[in-house]
Amino acid sequence: MIPDYHIHTGRCGHASGGMRQYAEEAVKKGMGEIGFSDHIPLYWLPADRRDPGLAMAEEEFPGYIAGVLGLRPEFPSLSVRLGVEVDFIPGQGSTVKSILSGYPFDYVIGSIHYIDGWGFDNPAHLEEFGRQDIDEIYEKYFDLLCAAARSRLYDIIAHPDLIKKFGHRPVTPPLELYRRAAGAMAGAGVCVEVNTAGLRVPAEEIYPSLDFLRICRLEGVPASTGSDAHAPGLVGAGFSQAVDLLREAGYSEVAVFEGRRRNMIKI
Ligand code: ZN
Ligand code: FE
Ligand code: FE
Ligand code: ZN
C-alpha cells in the first residue's frame, strides 16, 4: 500500500485522536508507512492572534516531535516518518528555517491556506469568494503556489488545487496556471501531493484534478500521497482512488522520504 504522508493529530485543535490511534489504524489497514504532518505553530502571527483551533502552540512543538519519534519503537512493523505542514507566507522563509532547525524531519509539506491573510479554505470566511473575481483569486492562489515551490523550504506541495475546496471554479479549467505551477515544482524538484481530502469536501474530487496531475506528470514532477486525516479512521482514506488517479495521469511510482532524501516506490 502507498504511504500516507499527510496525517494530523489532536494537537492542532481541530482534529480528533492521539497519535497512537492513527498508527494503530494504519496497522489495522495493513499499511507499511505513514508520516505525521501536523500544522506548524502560526509563526507569522503575533502571539495573541494565534487561534488554538488552527494549530498547536509554539511550546507544544518539541512534544509533537518527541511524540512522533516515540511511536517508532512501539510500532516496529510500521515506518513512522516525521513531517510537518508549513504554511507558505511570503517573506517568512528564514523564520521557518529557524523553527524547523535542529529536528530530524523526514519531509516538510508546504501549503497555501491564506491569500493576503484571507483563510480561503476556512468555511467561516467564504463570503470573500463573492467579493473578488474568481479568475483573479485563482491567479493569486497559483502565484503563491509557484513561490512556495521555488522557496526551497519544502519537499512536497500539499493539496495543490485547494482553492477549489468549496466548489468555486473558473468557467474553463485554468490549464495555464497548472502549467506554471507544474513548471515551478519540476524546476525546484518538489513533489506534488495527491491528497484525498478533496473527496470529503464540496469539491468532491482529489487534490489535484486529473488535468493538473497529468500536466505535473508531463513536466516530470514526482508525486507523493496523503489523506490529510484529521481523525484516526481517515488514515489511508480514498487511497484506491488515489492510485487510480495516479495511474490515469501516467504515474507508476510515488515518493517516500527519509531525512529529507527522496526515494521512489512502485505503485
Ligand atoms: Zn488541519
Ligand atoms: Fe492544509
Ligand atoms: Fe493538513
Ligand atoms: Zn492539509
The three cell numbers locating residue 155: 519537499
Report CA(121)–ligand 2 centroid distance (Å): 9
The three cell numbers locating residue 261: 532524501
Report CA(34)–ligand 3 centroid distance (Å): 14
Between CA 43 and CA 109 the distance in angstroms is: 15
Q: Which of 65, 57, 54, 46 is nearest to 111 (CA)?
A: 54
What CATH fold (topology level) applies to the domain 4-266?
A: TIM Barrel (3.20.20)
- Binning the chain into helix, strand and coil, the percentages to the nearest 5 are 40, 20, 40
Report CA(68)–ligand 2 centroid distance (Å): 19
Report CA(37)–ligand 3 centroid distance (Å): 7
For 204, which DSSP code? -
- Ligand number, closest to the Cα atom of 54: 1
Report CA(200)–ligand 3 centroid distance (Å): 13
- Residue 171: predicted pLDDT: 94
Report how far Cα 69 is from the mean position of its chain's Cα atoms. Answer: 20
Report CA(229)–ligand 1 centroid distance (Å): 8
The predicted-structure confidence for 3-38, as pLDDT tens digits, reads as follows: 999 999 999 999 999 999 999 999 999 999 999 999
The predicted-structure confidence for 31-89, as pLDDT tens digits, reads as follows: 999 999 999 999 999 999 999 999 999 999 999 999 999 999 999 999 999 999 999 99
Report CA(218)–ligand 1 centroid distance (Å): 30
CA distances to 14, 143, 172, 221, 224 from 62, rounded to whole Å, are: 19, 32, 45, 32, 26
CA distances to 7, 84, 120, 216 from 57, rounded to whole Å, are: 18, 14, 22, 35
Report CA(37)–ligand 1 centroid distance (Å): 9
Confidence band (pLDDT; 50, 70, 90) for 127?
very high
Report CA(260)–ligand 3 centroid distance (Å): 19
The predicted-structure confidence for 204-254, as pLDDT tens digits, reads as follows: 999 999 999 999 999 999 999 999 999 999 999 999 999 999 999 999 999
- Residue 117: predicted pLDDT: 94
Report CA(12)–ligand 1 centroid distance (Å): 7
Residue 1 has pLDDT above 90, yes or no: no
Report CA(39)–ligand 3 centroid distance (Å): 7
- Ligand number, closest to the Cα atom of 9: 1
Report CA(3)–ligand 2 centroid distance (Å): 18
E strand or H helix at 85: strand 85-87
Report CA(267)–ligand 3 centroid distance (Å): 23
- Residue 178: predicted pLDDT: 98
CA distances to 63, 150, 153, 257 from 113, rounded to whole Å, are: 24, 17, 16, 24
- List Cβ neighbours of 266 (8 Å cut-off, separation of 6 or more): 252, 253
Report CA(257)–ligand 2 centroid distance (Å): 19
The predicted-structure confidence for 131-181, as pLDDT tens digits, reads as follows: 999 999 999 999 999 999 999 999 999 999 999 999 999 999 999 999 999
